[in-house]
Amino acid sequence: MCDTASPNKFVQKLDDYIDSLTYKKENLIGVLHYAQEIYGYLPDNVQWHIAQKLDIPSATVYGVVTFYSFFTMIPRGEHVVNVCTGTACFVRGAEKLKGELENQLKIKAGETTTDNLFTLETLRCVGACGLAPVMIVDGKVHGRMNEAQHINEVLAKYRPEI
């Protein structure tokens, strides 16, 4: 893995960012946030590159990446659909919403559609409990998602027009 294509794309940007930091190792999590922002995800070679730049073992970087749910090692689809599974949404039907999304997108939570258009994930409480249950598409919150038809309408907005 590490012998093949080091993360050439954006690598200068990442290196510049790391070089700008006073403290390096201590900022591992900040660096990972930055890298995920520019690459969209954290593949092995990006993690390895960061390990070399910060002079820490790759295993340590991998241990951190796999600990925090915000970090992903799998590229996401064009649009990320999140179902809030906070308690308020849970008691107001988040499970059903998740099931309906899985049904409509034909994927399970954590997966990406074959056309790479949608990734379905779950997250905890976005603070929109008054609108429960909510789904969040690319950061935009859609509330009171109880009806299959509503869900379909929201998703349709993100599908390319044919």
Q: Figure out which of the listed residues 21, 125, 137, 154 binds another protein, where binding follows CB under 8 A.
A: 125
Q: How far is the CB of 79 from another protein (least distance, A)?
A: 17
Between 48 and 87, how does the x/- string for binding to another protein read (CB under 8 A)? x--xx---xxxxxxxxx-xxxxxx-------------xxx
**7-23 exposure pattern, b = at least 16 Cβ within 10 A, e = fewer:** beeebeebeebbeeeee
Contact call for residue 146 and another protein (CB under 8 A): no
Please, which residues have CB within 8 angstroms of residue 150's CB and are 6 or more apart in sequence?
142, 144
Contact call for residue 143 and another protein (CB under 8 A): yes
Identify the burial level of 35 via C-beta atoms within 10 angstroms of its C-beta, where 0-12 means exposed, 13-18 middle and 19 or more buried. buried
Contact call for residue 137 and another protein (CB under 8 A): no
Residue 158 has a CB neighbour count (10 Å cut-off) of 15
> Contact residues for another protein (CB under 8 A)?
1-3, 25-30, 32-33, 44, 47-48, 51-52, 56-64, 66-71, 85-88, 90-92, 123-132, 134, 139-143
